Chain A
Amino acid sequence: EVQLVESGGGLVQPGRSLKLSCVASGFTFSNYGMNWIRQAPGKGLEWVAYISSGSSYIYYAETVKGRFTISRDNAKNTLYLQMTSLRSEDTALYYCARRDVYYGLSVGFAYWGQGTLVTVSS
């Protein structure tokens, strides 16, 4: 069974840093691109960042570029999101999600974690 379990969220002051983790199981982690997606309280979904299976390709949303860093450790089956210079508008539930490919075609995100809540407040 595919499982994605996020952790590392919490209450942090504006301007500070936080690192999120997502531990994957039930599939060969090193074969899949991974994403971070967030959802502010009561709001819609916002894609944050993507990293390819071998970390060769990395993309960010403009709202986090230069402040957030996505990375992965395939030996540990773990995805990370290092967040710096945090702002109140970064407050959200952060999901990790697997980029799924069927018969060579990208299909979106078939697997999501349960999310970890980041609250940026003084």
Chain B
Amino acid sequence: DIVMTQSPSSLAVSAGETVTINCKSSQSLLSSGNQKNYLAWYQQKPGQSPKLLIYLASTRESGVPDRFIGSGSGTDFTLTISSVQAEDLADYYCQQHYSYPLTFGSGTKLEIK
């Protein structure tokens, strides 16, 4: 099984700051066939279902603000949130969909000071 290691587990920032969340997979998520990384990022606000933010490691889902940026390849990935806003208060999860069983990172709780 592919283990997803996410860090940090929590962080608190002031509005306007930039946040970086890291996600490391135990195996490469890069498909040799199409050179795509099968890594997604989700945002879960309090009391809500998760929302897809980023897919294929770096493509923003429709409607997602451009302050959310996904990067990385292979086994190391990053979600960057630039100029954090109060509405970004949420838990963030990475997830590999390269192979079954699908696995999620343990999550990062983002708090706004």
A→B interface (CB under 8 Å): 35, 44-47, 50, 59-62, 95, 100, 102, 105-110, 112-115
Residue B77, interface by CB 8 Å = no
What CA separation (Å) do A46 and B100 show in the bound complex? 13
Measured CB to CB, the nearest residue on chain A to B100 is: A59
Q: State whether A44 touches B100 (Cβ < 8 A).
A: no
* B45 located at the interface, meaning its Cβ lies under 8 Å from any Cβ of chain A in the complex: no
Query: What is the chain B residue whose CB lies nearest that of A99?
Result: B97
A47-B49 contact in complex given A105-B36, A108-B97, C-beta closer than 8 Å? no
Measured between C-beta atoms, what is the minimum distance from B108 to chain A in Å?
Answer: 10
Contact indicator per residue, chain B 21-60, by CB within 8 Å of chain A (1) or not (0): 0000000000000101010101010000111100110010
Instruction: Name B54's closest neighbour in chain A (CB-CB).
Output: A108
As a 0/1 sequence over residues 88 to 105 of chain B, the CB contacts with chain A under 8 angstroms (1 = contact) are: 000101010100111111
Main secondary structure of the interface of A (DSSP, over half): strand
Tell me how far the C-beta of A99 lies from the nearest C-beta in chain B, rounded to whole angstroms: 8
Beyond the given pairs A61-B101, A105-B36, A107-B40, 10 more chain A to chain B contacts, judged by CB atoms under 8 angstroms and listed by A's residue number, are A45-B42, A46-B104, A62-B1, A100-B52, A105-B56, A106-B97, A107-B52, A108-B97, A110-B52, A112-B51
Cα A115 to Cα B97 in complex, Å, equals 21
22 A-B residue pairings within 8 Å (CB atoms) = A44-B91, A44-B105, A45-B93, A45-B95, A47-B101, A59-B101, A60-B101, A62-B1, A62-B101, A95-B49, A102-B55, A105-B34, A105-B36, A105-B56, A106-B97, A107-B52, A108-B42, A108-B55, A108-B97, A109-B50, A109-B95, A112-B49
Instruction: Tell me the nearest residue of chain A to B9, going by C-beta.
Output: A44
CA distance A113 to B50 in the complex (A): 9
Chain A hits for B61, CB < 8 A: 107, 110
Residues on B with C-beta less than 8 A from A59 are 100-101
